[in-house]
Amino acid sequence: MTTQTTSNTLQEISAYLRTLDRVAVTTHVGSDGDAIGASAALVRLMRELGIEAVFCHAEGVPDYLRWLLPEEPLLELPPGYDLLVVDTSRADRTGVPIPGAGARLNLDHHEDNPFYAEYNFVDARAAATAEVVSRLYRELGVEIDREAAQAIYVGIKTDTGGFNFRNISPGAHELVADLLRAGVVPAEVNEKINRRGSLEQLRIVGASLANAVRYGEVLISTVDNEDYARTGAGELDSKEAIDQLRSVEGIDMVAHLREVPQGTKGSLRSESIDVGEIARAFGGGGHKLAAGFTREGMRPKEAKAELIGVLKNTKVDIGDAR
Ligand code: 5GP
Ligand code: MN
């Protein structure tokens, strides 16, 4: 563990990466487009430098993102490889456990990242960790080829909700223009990651929307094992509903509470309320406007009652159910 409190510079990190021989890249549990996009781009970057690079994650790679990392993912950290972690705000949320020797690199954009590696770079203003990886390409003088550009594009597209959230900047749009010049075709990427759903997934999203209840300016949706059994879909499929929940006028915060084997996993989103702080009150974390937590041993309806109780002690306007 390190006690470092300020980011390294990209120059320091680039110089350090060049000294490595064999690296294993991993990312957070429950990986999403930025987690896998940033990982795939970093694996390619290391290989371009002549360094042996693999991706490892105990959960593998979600099917809809496999095209970014087509090799069979390693489920464990291979011995003799230095661990590089991307897009992961906490050392206990990595896809493979951090070994006793520690992680070598922690590259992220979560403002609550506590700098758990030997080298750390966290830019909370970056739209995605993939955007940070693109800066490493530039720093190291490596051209972003079409494959790398697709991986970086997926990270930015997914972490900004398709260029809609408050984390998208002019710089990120300029980067996206370069990615398109490098060969990214947005319609093809959209086809690969957004048009791969099943009817079961559509139905669990429908259940998540139907179960939403409004409390003042807060909208809370719960889905549980009965919903999964009825629709034939899983808990991660249900989370796809979260952006649609945000479409209701007058809602400042949405919570999606879904049953998982340990209890309830919560996802919080807002345009103005610091939901990272609320998630931390439940032992979770994340960004100011997108955060999450897990309540062990609690079913979604209980977790909802608890969340409402906590919100009543904040400035959030939480009225009666409707
Ligand atoms: P999501 O709702 O998509 O799972 O997560 C939203 C954001 O919150 C992501 O940036 C994710 O890393 C973070 N996050 C979600 N769940 C947890 C959690 O249990 N602990 C921490 N520290 N962060 C979380
Ligand atoms: Mn991210």
Residues of the chain with CATH 3.90.1640.10: 10-192
pLDDT score at 195: 84
What integer is the mean pLDDT of 294-299?
98
Smallest CA separation from ligand 1 atom 6, residue = 291
DSSP code of residue 64: G
Q: Which of 85, 237, 267, 289 to mutate to test the pocket of ligand 1 (most atoms within 8 A of CB)?
A: 267
Q: Ligand nearest 36 Cα, by number? A: 2
pLDDT score at 6: 78
Residues near ligand 1 (Cβ within 6 A): 28, 30, 89-90, 110, 267, 284-287, 290-294
Measured in angstroms, how far is the CA atom of residue 107 from the centroid of ligand 2? 10
Q: Which of 286, 295, 212, 302 is nearest to 255 (CA)?
A: 212
Measured in angstroms, how far is the CA atom of residue 246 from the centroid of ligand 1? 17
Smallest CA separation from ligand 1 atom 20, residue = 284
pLDDT score at 215: 97
What is the architecture, at CATH level 2, of domain 10-192?
A: Alpha-Beta Complex (3.90)
Give Cβ neighbours of residue 199 (< 8 Å, ≥ 6 apart).
Answer: none
The predicted-structure confidence for 143-152, as pLDDT tens digits, reads as follows 999 999 999 9
Measured in angstroms, how far is the CA atom of residue 159 from the centroid of ligand 2? 6
Smallest CA separation from ligand 1 atom 3, residue = 267
- Name the most confidently modeled range: 1-10, 72-81, 193-202: 72-81
Strand, coil or helix: 19: coil
Instruction: Using the atom order of ligand 1, give the atom closest to the CA of residue 30.
Output: 4
Mean pLDDT taken over the chain: 96
Q: Ligand nearest 160 Cα, by number? A: 2
Instruction: Using the atom order of ligand 1, give the atom closest to the CA of residue 276.
Output: 8
Q: Which of 211, 230, 233 is nearest to 221 (CA)?
A: 211
The predicted-structure confidence for 15-30, as pLDDT tens digits, reads as follows 999 999 999 999 999 9
Beta strands in 61-142 (DSSP E): 82-86, 105-108, 119-122
Q: Which of the four pLDDT bands, split at 50, 70 and 90, describes residue 3?
A: low
Measured in angstroms, how far is the CA atom of residue 110 from the centroid of ligand 1? 10
* 133, pLDDT greater than 80: yes
Task: Map 293-309 to HEC letters.
Answer: EEEECCCHHHHHHHHHH
Q: Which of 89, 94, 307 to mutate to test the pocket of ligand 1 (most atoms within 8 A of CB)?
A: 89
Smallest CA separation from ligand 1 atom 23, residue = 285
What is the architecture, at CATH level 2, of domain 199-311?
A: Roll (3.10)
DSSP code of residue 271: S
Measured in angstroms, how far is the CA atom of residue 30 from the centroid of ligand 2? 12
The predicted-structure confidence for 179-190, as pLDDT tens digits, reads as follows 999 999 999 999
DSSP code of residue 60: -
What integer is the mean pLDDT of 48-69?
97
Strand, coil or helix: 226: helix
Residues of the chain with CATH 3.10.310.30: 199-311
Which residues are close to ligand 2, an ion, with C-beta < 5 A?
34, 87, 129, 159
The predicted-structure confidence for 213-238, as pLDDT tens digits, reads as follows 999 999 999 999 999 999 999 998 99
